[in-house]
Amino acid sequence: EVQLVESGGGLVQPGGSLRLSCAASGFSFSSYSMNWVRQAPGKGLEWVSYISSSSSSIYYADSVKGRFTISRDNAKNSLYLQMNSLRAEDTAVYYCARTCLVCQGSLDYWGQGSLVTVSS
Amino acid sequence: DIQMTQSPSTLSASVGDRVTITCRASQSISNWLAWYQQKPGKAPKLLIYKASSLESGVPSRFSGSGSETEFTLTISSLQPDDFATYYCQQYNSFTWTFGQGTKVEIK
Protein backbone atom coordinates (compact mmCIF):
# COMPACT_ATOMS: atom_id res chain seq x y z
CA GLU A 1 0.00 0.00 0.00
CA VAL A 2 1.33 3.40 -0.99
CA GLN A 3 1.78 5.68 2.01
CA LEU A 4 3.04 9.24 2.30
CA VAL A 5 3.40 10.65 5.81
CA GLU A 6 4.30 14.29 6.36
CA SER A 7 5.86 15.65 9.54
CA GLY A 8 7.61 18.77 10.81
CA GLY A 9 4.78 21.28 10.76
CA GLY A 10 4.01 23.66 13.58
CA LEU A 11 3.88 27.26 14.72
CA VAL A 12 6.68 29.57 13.58
CA GLN A 13 7.17 33.32 13.75
CA PRO A 14 7.29 35.47 10.62
CA GLY A 15 10.78 35.39 9.17
CA GLY A 16 11.47 32.00 10.72
CA SER A 17 12.30 28.63 9.19
CA LEU A 18 10.80 25.16 9.20
CA ARG A 19 11.64 21.87 7.52
CA LEU A 20 8.92 19.49 6.42
CA SER A 21 9.55 15.82 5.79
CA CYS A 22 7.54 13.24 3.87
CA ALA A 23 8.22 9.55 4.49
CA ALA A 24 7.25 7.31 1.58
CA SER A 25 6.52 3.59 1.63
CA GLY A 26 4.80 0.93 -0.43
CA PHE A 27 6.36 1.89 -3.76
CA SER A 28 9.71 2.41 -5.43
CA PHE A 29 10.29 5.97 -4.23
CA SER A 30 13.40 6.48 -6.36
CA SER A 31 11.37 5.94 -9.55
CA TYR A 32 8.88 8.76 -8.99
CA SER A 33 9.00 12.51 -9.11
CA MET A 34 7.39 14.21 -6.14
CA ASN A 35 5.65 17.47 -5.30
CA TRP A 36 4.59 19.69 -2.45
CA VAL A 37 1.11 21.23 -2.64
CA ARG A 38 -0.37 23.53 -0.01
CA GLN A 39 -3.83 24.66 1.05
CA ALA A 40 -4.40 27.77 3.12
CA PRO A 41 -7.24 27.51 5.66
CA GLY A 42 -10.57 27.53 3.85
CA LYS A 43 -8.88 28.06 0.48
CA GLY A 44 -8.04 26.06 -2.63
CA LEU A 45 -5.00 24.04 -3.61
CA GLU A 46 -1.70 25.64 -4.64
CA TRP A 47 1.21 23.72 -6.14
CA VAL A 48 4.48 24.66 -4.40
CA SER A 49 7.37 22.63 -5.78
CA TYR A 50 8.44 19.65 -7.91
CA ILE A 51 11.51 17.42 -7.82
CA SER A 52 12.36 14.73 -10.34
CA SER A 53 13.20 11.18 -9.32
CA SER A 54 16.95 11.81 -9.45
CA SER A 55 16.77 15.41 -8.17
CA SER A 56 18.09 16.61 -11.53
CA SER A 57 15.05 18.82 -12.18
CA ILE A 58 13.52 21.12 -9.58
CA TYR A 59 10.80 23.73 -10.00
CA TYR A 60 9.04 26.17 -7.70
CA ALA A 61 5.94 28.33 -7.73
CA ASP A 62 6.79 32.02 -8.00
CA SER A 63 5.26 32.59 -4.55
CA VAL A 64 8.00 30.54 -2.84
CA LYS A 65 10.94 30.84 -5.23
CA GLY A 66 14.10 31.89 -3.41
CA ARG A 67 12.67 31.05 0.03
CA PHE A 68 11.80 27.34 -0.16
CA THR A 69 14.07 24.44 -1.12
CA ILE A 70 12.85 20.98 -2.10
CA SER A 71 15.10 17.96 -1.75
CA ARG A 72 14.93 14.20 -1.44
CA ASP A 73 16.94 11.27 -0.11
CA ASN A 74 16.14 8.16 -2.14
CA ALA A 75 18.13 5.96 0.24
CA LYS A 76 15.81 7.04 3.05
CA ASN A 77 12.63 7.16 0.91
CA SER A 78 12.11 10.71 2.06
CA LEU A 79 11.11 14.06 0.60
CA TYR A 80 11.84 17.40 2.24
CA LEU A 81 10.81 21.04 2.05
CA GLN A 82 13.05 23.61 3.70
CA MET A 83 11.05 26.78 4.25
CA ASN A 84 12.89 30.00 5.08
CA SER A 85 11.78 33.63 5.49
CA LEU A 86 8.28 32.45 6.28
CA ARG A 87 5.37 34.84 5.91
CA ALA A 88 1.83 34.86 7.26
CA GLU A 89 0.58 33.95 3.78
CA ASP A 90 2.57 30.70 3.93
CA THR A 91 0.18 29.44 6.61
CA ALA A 92 -1.35 26.28 5.15
CA VAL A 93 -1.61 22.53 5.24
CA TYR A 94 1.29 21.19 3.21
CA TYR A 95 0.79 17.93 1.31
CA CYS A 96 3.42 15.80 -0.37
CA ALA A 97 2.10 14.17 -3.53
CA ARG A 98 3.45 11.63 -5.98
CA THR A 99 3.48 12.38 -9.71
CA CYS A 100 1.70 9.62 -11.57
CA LEU A 101 4.01 7.90 -14.07
CA VAL A 102 1.40 7.39 -16.78
CA CYS A 103 -1.09 10.14 -15.98
CA GLN A 104 0.44 13.21 -17.64
CA GLY A 105 1.30 15.23 -14.58
CA SER A 106 -1.53 14.10 -12.34
CA LEU A 107 -0.84 13.55 -8.65
CA ASP A 108 -2.02 10.07 -7.77
CA TYR A 109 -1.15 9.71 -4.09
CA TRP A 110 -1.16 12.34 -1.37
CA GLY A 111 -0.12 12.41 2.25
CA GLN A 112 -2.46 13.46 5.03
CA GLY A 113 -0.89 16.90 5.28
CA SER A 114 1.14 18.88 7.82
CA LEU A 115 -0.10 22.21 9.16
CA VAL A 116 2.28 25.15 9.12
CA THR A 117 1.16 28.27 10.98
CA VAL A 118 3.16 31.47 10.60
CA SER A 119 2.19 33.91 13.32
CA SER A 120 3.72 36.07 16.02
CA ASP B 1 0.93 31.50 -16.50
CA ILE B 2 -2.08 29.34 -17.31
CA GLN B 3 -5.16 30.13 -15.23
CA MET B 4 -7.91 27.62 -14.52
CA THR B 5 -11.48 28.80 -13.92
CA GLN B 6 -14.12 26.45 -12.55
CA SER B 7 -17.87 26.96 -12.58
CA PRO B 8 -19.99 27.00 -10.63
CA SER B 9 -18.23 27.72 -7.32
CA THR B 10 -21.04 26.03 -5.41
CA LEU B 11 -23.61 23.56 -6.64
CA SER B 12 -26.67 22.34 -4.73
CA ALA B 13 -27.97 18.97 -5.83
CA SER B 14 -29.94 15.96 -4.65
CA VAL B 15 -29.02 12.30 -4.52
CA GLY B 16 -29.59 10.83 -7.96
CA ASP B 17 -29.04 14.09 -9.83
CA ARG B 18 -26.74 14.37 -12.83
CA VAL B 19 -24.06 16.94 -12.00
CA THR B 20 -21.70 18.75 -14.36
CA ILE B 21 -18.75 20.94 -13.38
CA THR B 22 -16.88 23.01 -15.95
CA CYS B 23 -13.22 23.99 -16.01
CA ARG B 24 -11.77 26.47 -18.49
CA ALA B 25 -8.07 27.03 -19.18
CA SER B 26 -6.70 30.44 -20.17
CA GLN B 27 -4.82 28.79 -23.04
CA SER B 28 -4.74 25.40 -24.71
CA ILE B 29 -3.53 22.55 -22.50
CA SER B 30 -4.36 19.70 -24.90
CA ASN B 31 -5.66 17.00 -22.54
CA TRP B 32 -3.25 17.62 -19.63
CA LEU B 33 -6.07 17.93 -17.13
CA ALA B 34 -6.99 16.09 -13.95
CA TRP B 35 -9.93 16.18 -11.55
CA TYR B 36 -9.72 15.65 -7.79
CA GLN B 37 -12.27 15.17 -5.02
CA GLN B 38 -11.57 16.56 -1.55
CA LYS B 39 -13.58 16.04 1.60
CA PRO B 40 -13.18 18.25 4.71
CA GLY B 41 -9.98 17.53 6.60
CA LYS B 42 -8.79 15.02 4.01
CA ALA B 43 -6.24 15.02 1.21
CA PRO B 44 -7.42 15.35 -2.39
CA LYS B 45 -8.15 12.14 -4.28
CA LEU B 46 -7.43 11.72 -7.98
CA LEU B 47 -10.57 10.90 -9.99
CA ILE B 48 -9.76 11.59 -13.64
CA TYR B 49 -6.48 12.08 -15.51
CA LYS B 50 -5.68 12.97 -19.13
CA ALA B 51 -9.07 14.74 -19.20
CA SER B 52 -11.12 11.56 -19.57
CA SER B 53 -9.27 8.56 -18.08
CA LEU B 54 -10.82 7.14 -14.93
CA GLU B 55 -8.37 6.48 -12.10
CA SER B 56 -8.36 2.90 -10.85
CA GLY B 57 -10.97 2.27 -8.17
CA VAL B 58 -13.04 5.35 -8.95
CA PRO B 59 -16.75 4.60 -9.57
CA SER B 60 -17.87 4.68 -13.18
CA ARG B 61 -20.50 7.34 -12.42
CA PHE B 62 -17.60 9.82 -12.67
CA SER B 63 -16.54 10.84 -16.16
CA GLY B 64 -14.46 13.56 -17.73
CA SER B 65 -14.43 15.12 -21.17
CA GLY B 66 -13.00 18.00 -23.12
CA SER B 67 -9.76 19.21 -24.65
CA GLU B 68 -7.76 22.34 -25.36
CA THR B 69 -9.45 24.93 -23.12
CA GLU B 70 -12.79 23.54 -21.98
CA PHE B 71 -13.34 20.51 -19.79
CA THR B 72 -16.17 18.96 -17.81
CA LEU B 73 -16.52 16.55 -14.92
CA THR B 74 -19.83 14.72 -14.83
CA ILE B 75 -21.31 12.65 -12.04
CA SER B 76 -24.09 10.64 -13.67
CA SER B 77 -26.09 9.91 -10.52
CA LEU B 78 -25.00 11.76 -7.39
CA GLN B 79 -24.47 9.55 -4.35
CA PRO B 80 -24.29 10.57 -0.65
CA ASP B 81 -20.52 9.96 -0.67
CA ASP B 82 -20.04 12.45 -3.52
CA PHE B 83 -20.81 15.58 -1.53
CA ALA B 84 -17.38 17.21 -1.51
CA THR B 85 -15.27 19.86 -3.22
CA TYR B 86 -13.92 19.14 -6.69
CA TYR B 87 -10.81 20.68 -8.25
CA CYS B 88 -9.50 20.64 -11.78
CA GLN B 89 -5.74 20.82 -12.31
CA GLN B 90 -3.60 21.44 -15.37
CA TYR B 91 0.00 20.47 -15.97
CA ASN B 92 2.18 22.40 -18.38
CA SER B 93 5.95 22.75 -18.56
CA PHE B 94 6.56 21.77 -14.96
CA THR B 95 3.95 24.01 -13.46
CA TRP B 96 0.70 22.79 -11.95
CA THR B 97 -2.34 25.03 -11.57
CA PHE B 98 -5.58 24.19 -9.81
CA GLY B 99 -9.01 25.63 -10.33
CA GLN B 100 -10.58 27.42 -7.38
CA GLY B 101 -12.84 24.47 -6.58
CA THR B 102 -16.52 23.58 -6.83
CA LYS B 103 -18.35 22.63 -3.66
CA VAL B 104 -21.16 20.14 -4.22
CA GLU B 105 -23.74 20.56 -1.46
CA ILE B 106 -26.87 18.72 -0.48
CA LYS B 107 -30.00 20.44 -1.79
A109/chain B closest Cα distance in angstroms: 7
Q: Specify the 3-state DSSP secondary structure of A87.
A: coil
Q: Which residues of B touch A98 (CB under 8 A)?
A: none
C-alpha distances out from residue B69 to A72, B23, B90, Å: 34, 8, 10
B34 neighbors A103 (Cβ within 8 angstroms): yes
Q: DSSP letters along B26-86, please?
A: SS--TT-EEEEEE-TTS--EEEEETTTEEPTT--TTEEEEEETTEEEEEESS--GGG-SEE
pLDDT tens, position by position, A33-52:
999 999 999 999 999 999 99
| pLDDT, tens only, A87-96 | 999 999 999 9
Instruction: Work out the pLDDT band at A105, boundaries 50, 70, 90.
Output: confident
Q: Do B34 and A106 touch (CB under 8 A)?
A: yes
Checking if the pLDDT of A114 tops 90, the result is yes
Q: Is A63 on the interface with B (CB under 8 A)?
A: no
